Chain A
Amino acid sequence: MSDSVIAHTLPNGMLVLLKEAHGAPVATSWIWYRVGSRNEASGRTGISHWVEHMLFKGTPQIPAGHLDRLVARNGGVFNGFTWIDYTAYYETLPADRIALGLQIESDRMVNALFAEEEVESERTVIISELEGYANEPETWLDEAVKDAAFTRHPYRHPVIGYRADLEAMTRADLYDHYQTFYMPNNAVLVLVGDFNADAMLRQAEAAFADLPAGPPLPQAPTAEPTPQAERRVIVRRPGPAAYVQIGYLAPDCRSPDFAPLAILDSALSGAKSLTFMGGGTQTNRSARLYPALVESGLAASAWSGVTPSRDPYLFELGATASEGVDPAAVEAALIAEVTKIQQDGIAESELARTRKQMRAQVAYSGESVTNQAMQLGMWEALDSYRRVDTLLDELASVSAEDVRRVAQTYLTSHRRTVGYFVPDESA
């Protein structure tokens, strides 16, 4: 896919990626900023996500409440999201309207108002978003596991932020974060769709080339020290079931061990599309965890996952215990599956299956221009857009022995945080 991408860096440092796709008369415009919860200091948790919300709250050219109607009027859809390493915005439109996406993004890269009353109104909207997540028992467990798994690195705090920080942050804090990270030299523009790439590049240049480059970005966050002992957390709250979540500190996505870890994850719970919007197919029921945990009756569901990240993040496993099953039994069954791979590796047939599944997942996610642009942008924000293709090559060259080696290296007890959610009506 990346062979047909045109990559062009503007003088202000902004990278533009363009790819023609003529399957349907639609086009998508994405802008990615290398900022997320990774870049947040203590006391400012959730600031990247809040800034993302403020980018929908008006500029002098497009006042608050107008952006959504402007996109809708042109037959388009839009959204924005914030993650640990990046923040992204997109507009998908009928192809002849795609210039609107460029107009919106170049405008709000520099002109977002952050009006005081809009900041206050959005504070309660975001607290409401946080409260929605807090209704789910899985959120409490996930936050407890991340908080224990990381001691120094900002990955320990939730992307939405801590409530106390959301209550305390000011307009000045938000605007400062915006001015620091929303710069052409920290952004990637991705355009995919039914257009002529040369003409589209000229439009992108017209929209963005005059925006000034910003100062150098703040230093990367402190590395997480290698854990030396297993950590355990138990959350007791009202809830419908017991949940188990295990995280092992794993290397970042640029590591040569990332591809073997992705295969390891696939052996446990099937190959996934490595981007958010999925669109792929279910592949977990013929993998290892499903028969061991679900068909055995121990769990109602079981999962694993590896997240491509800038800094070392987690290789995770989890399950929802069946009624009456002790979470310790679920934990033991999850770890037993890891141990088997550490001892015996995986079969050649599992490797072959994973490769075919990955090819299929890539084909499915390539169906929509929105998904194609998301893959290119996500990989460029983390590493390089070429990874969309080179990762497939890396996966193809992983051996069964590589998988056993990374399981032995990273999925060790001292790199592990184990969390239980135990339903407790009295808590």
Chain B
Amino acid sequence: MPTTASAFADATASDSALRRFLHGLPGVDAVGLEARAAALGTRSIKTTAKAYAIDLAISMIDLTTLEGADTPGKVRALGAKAVHPDPTDRTTPRTAAVCVYPDMVATAKETVGDSGVLVASVATAFPAGRAALDVKLADVGDAVAAGADEIDMVIDRGAFLAGKYLKVYEEIRAVKVACERADGTRARLKVIFETGELSTYDNIRRASWLGMIAGADFIKTSTGKVGVNATPPNTLLMLEAVRDFRLQTGVQIGVKPAGGIRTSKDAVKFLVLVNETAGPDWLDNHWFRFGASSLLNDLLMQRQKLATGRYSGPDYVTVD
């Protein structure tokens, strides 16, 4: 972190310096980006490679429930599913984490226990992020105190779109401080840009760099609460950003597409993007995650198909 901060000390010295830096990033070739994402999506992944990709994708899922109607019972069921996604086949890998609202962190933590599944909590007035900074920090503090291993924060899109980049930067820095625990360790911080609200690819690139220099451990596409969520092009763009950032600073940052990824085929396409853009170093659930809920069932059905040769159906996976 200190290295990153000092490397970009000039850029973050003032609002205008930060603006100069972010607007100085090369513009995105939108047509080229979409064509590249589409071309990589046509790769055919079969047999053993498919089996590997399915297991990898399962292990990268942040199994998510973010509804007003979440009950402790639903969170417990989700936690149990994260630990044993397919009770009929114990060789199925665990998911990376469960992702819940802050008030459900304690329940989730209790359910996953020491299974190795982490608990991620959204915070900072998710999903809109429309609240005063101290309210957001209190939200983060609650989640960390309840035992969250990871915090998914949303940036203030209003400030970002109004060009107040330094405000967004400082908010991320403040949240990062709030992620510290009493024992000196720190919850990992994922920064959600809500790419569907940023309107242009240039903005997504700027937001990515802003998040990374502010100290995000992960950059995440979306909340899953708006019309446009994770798409192959915007994820490809963010993967390019983390690749370039590591080349420049030596610091590796994770990427998490979230929302709208429902089929195994989609998930495998994203894994191809990761491998071909950021590289195999990111093919690990420490560096790449899927924010999803229904995706897991589709991956499990595909896994059953590979194991038995028969097409599976929704009667053979849990209903969430």
Question: Do they bind each other?
Answer: no
Q: List A residues at the B interface (Cβ < 8 Å).
A: none
